[in-house]
A = this chain, B = another copy of it.
Amino acid sequence: MANNEGIDNSFLDTVKFDAKGLVPAIVQDHETGKVLMMAWMNRESLEMTLERKKACYWSRSRNKLWLKGESSGNMQDVYDILIDCDGDTLILKVSQIGGACHVGYHSCFYRRVLENGNMEICDTLMFDPEEVYGKKS
Protein backbone atom coordinates (compact mmCIF):
# COMPACT_ATOMS: atom_id res chain seq x y z
CA MET A 1 0.00 0.00 0.00
CA ALA A 2 1.48 3.33 -1.05
CA ASN A 3 2.14 5.31 2.09
CA ASN A 4 5.27 7.29 1.30
CA GLU A 5 4.29 8.24 -2.23
CA GLY A 6 6.49 10.90 -3.81
CA ILE A 7 8.81 11.96 -1.01
CA ASP A 8 12.02 10.68 -2.60
CA ASN A 9 12.80 13.89 -4.47
CA SER A 10 13.58 17.33 -3.11
CA PHE A 11 10.65 19.71 -2.68
CA LEU A 12 11.85 22.21 -5.30
CA ASP A 13 12.32 19.43 -7.88
CA THR A 14 8.78 18.20 -7.15
CA VAL A 15 7.03 21.53 -7.85
CA LYS A 16 5.50 21.58 -11.34
CA PHE A 17 5.40 25.14 -12.63
CA ASP A 18 2.90 25.77 -15.44
CA ALA A 19 3.65 27.00 -18.97
CA LYS A 20 4.11 30.52 -17.57
CA GLY A 21 6.53 29.25 -14.89
CA LEU A 22 3.95 29.73 -12.12
CA VAL A 23 2.35 27.59 -9.42
CA PRO A 24 -0.75 28.59 -7.39
CA ALA A 25 -0.32 28.93 -3.63
CA ILE A 26 -3.30 28.67 -1.28
CA VAL A 27 -2.61 30.85 1.75
CA GLN A 28 -4.07 29.61 5.01
CA ASP A 29 -3.92 30.93 8.57
CA HIS A 30 -1.61 28.48 10.35
CA GLU A 31 -3.71 28.47 13.53
CA THR A 32 -7.35 28.71 12.43
CA GLY A 33 -7.13 27.09 8.98
CA LYS A 34 -9.00 30.05 7.45
CA VAL A 35 -8.09 30.49 3.77
CA LEU A 36 -6.89 34.07 3.29
CA MET A 37 -6.04 34.30 -0.39
CA MET A 38 -4.63 32.50 -3.39
CA ALA A 39 -1.57 33.88 -5.16
CA TRP A 40 0.94 32.70 -7.75
CA MET A 41 4.62 31.94 -7.29
CA ASN A 42 7.48 31.49 -9.72
CA ARG A 43 10.61 29.60 -8.72
CA GLU A 44 12.39 32.77 -7.59
CA SER A 45 9.56 33.90 -5.30
CA LEU A 46 9.28 30.38 -3.87
CA GLU A 47 13.01 30.24 -3.15
CA MET A 48 12.80 33.69 -1.54
CA THR A 49 9.85 32.52 0.60
CA LEU A 50 11.75 29.41 1.73
CA GLU A 51 14.79 31.50 2.61
CA ARG A 52 13.16 34.47 4.36
CA LYS A 53 10.06 32.72 5.78
CA LYS A 54 8.05 35.72 4.56
CA ALA A 55 5.54 35.08 1.76
CA CYS A 56 6.75 36.34 -1.60
CA TYR A 57 4.67 35.92 -4.77
CA TRP A 58 4.75 36.72 -8.46
CA SER A 59 2.34 39.51 -9.28
CA ARG A 60 0.67 38.63 -12.58
CA SER A 61 -0.85 42.12 -12.89
CA ARG A 62 2.37 44.02 -12.14
CA ASN A 63 4.63 41.34 -13.66
CA LYS A 64 7.15 41.43 -10.83
CA LEU A 65 8.16 39.83 -7.55
CA TRP A 66 5.78 40.82 -4.80
CA LEU A 67 6.84 40.60 -1.17
CA LYS A 68 3.39 40.42 0.45
CA GLY A 69 2.94 43.48 2.68
CA GLU A 70 5.63 45.59 1.01
CA SER A 71 3.05 48.40 0.45
CA SER A 72 0.51 47.70 3.19
CA GLY A 73 2.78 46.37 5.93
CA ASN A 74 0.49 43.32 6.07
CA MET A 75 3.30 40.75 5.83
CA GLN A 76 2.86 36.98 6.11
CA ASP A 77 5.19 34.89 8.29
CA VAL A 78 5.39 31.41 6.76
CA TYR A 79 5.19 28.45 9.16
CA ASP A 80 4.66 25.54 6.80
CA ILE A 81 4.53 24.70 3.08
CA LEU A 82 2.57 21.73 1.71
CA ILE A 83 2.47 20.38 -1.84
CA ASP A 84 -0.29 18.39 -3.51
CA CYS A 85 -0.22 14.96 -5.17
CA ASP A 86 0.33 16.39 -8.66
CA GLY A 87 2.99 18.83 -7.47
CA ASP A 88 1.16 21.71 -9.14
CA THR A 89 -0.46 23.45 -6.14
CA LEU A 90 1.01 24.63 -2.82
CA ILE A 91 -0.39 25.58 0.57
CA LEU A 92 1.38 28.24 2.63
CA LYS A 93 0.45 28.22 6.31
CA VAL A 94 1.03 31.74 7.56
CA SER A 95 0.50 34.23 10.30
CA GLN A 96 -1.15 37.26 8.67
CA ILE A 97 -0.48 40.74 10.01
CA GLY A 98 -3.63 42.87 9.48
CA GLY A 99 -5.79 41.86 6.52
CA ALA A 100 -4.75 39.81 3.50
CA CYS A 101 -7.14 41.46 1.03
CA HIS A 102 -6.44 44.72 -0.81
CA VAL A 103 -10.13 45.62 -0.34
CA GLY A 104 -9.50 45.68 3.44
CA TYR A 105 -10.98 42.36 4.56
CA HIS A 106 -9.12 39.75 6.62
CA SER A 107 -9.53 37.24 3.77
CA CYS A 108 -9.89 37.80 0.03
CA PHE A 109 -12.78 35.33 0.26
CA TYR A 110 -15.15 37.77 1.96
CA ARG A 111 -18.25 36.95 -0.13
CA ARG A 112 -20.40 33.84 0.02
CA VAL A 113 -23.10 32.65 -2.34
CA LEU A 114 -26.71 32.76 -1.20
CA GLU A 115 -29.41 30.29 -2.15
CA ASN A 116 -30.95 32.86 -4.56
CA GLY A 117 -27.68 33.27 -6.51
CA ASN A 118 -26.74 36.61 -4.93
CA MET A 119 -23.88 37.11 -2.48
CA GLU A 120 -23.39 38.39 1.05
CA ILE A 121 -20.36 39.60 3.00
CA CYS A 122 -19.03 36.91 5.35
CA ASP A 123 -15.81 38.42 6.69
CA THR A 124 -14.40 41.22 8.83
CA LEU A 125 -13.11 44.53 7.49
CA MET A 126 -9.61 45.06 8.95
CA PHE A 127 -8.49 48.34 7.37
CA ASP A 128 -9.51 51.16 5.05
CA PRO A 129 -7.68 50.60 1.74
CA GLU A 130 -7.63 54.35 1.01
CA GLU A 131 -5.67 54.94 4.20
CA VAL A 132 -3.23 52.11 3.46
CA TYR A 133 -2.70 52.39 -0.30
CA GLY A 134 -3.79 56.02 -0.83
CA LYS A 135 -6.85 57.32 -2.70
CA LYS A 136 -7.47 56.09 -6.23
CA SER A 137 -7.03 59.06 -8.58
Instruction: State the A residues within 8 Å of B (CB).
Output: 1-7, 9-12, 14, 24, 26, 28, 32-35, 37-38, 50, 80-86, 89, 91, 101-105, 108-114, 117-122, 125, 128-129
Q: How many copies does the complex hold?
A: 2
A87 → B minimal CB distance (Å): 9
Asked whether B84 lies within 8 Å of A38 as measured between CB atoms, the reply is yes
A73 → B minimal CB distance (Å): 18
Asked whether B112 lies within 8 Å of A85 as measured between CB atoms, the reply is no
Asked whether A89 lies within 8 Å of B10 as measured between CB atoms, the reply is no
Residue of B nearest to A127 (CB): B1
- Mind listing 20 A-B residue pairs with CB under 8 Å? A2-B128, A7-B111, A7-B120, A9-B119, A11-B113, A11-B118, A14-B111, A14-B119, A26-B38, A28-B33, A33-B35, A37-B84, A80-B112, A80-B113, A82-B110, A83-B109, A84-B108, A85-B101, A85-B103, A89-B109
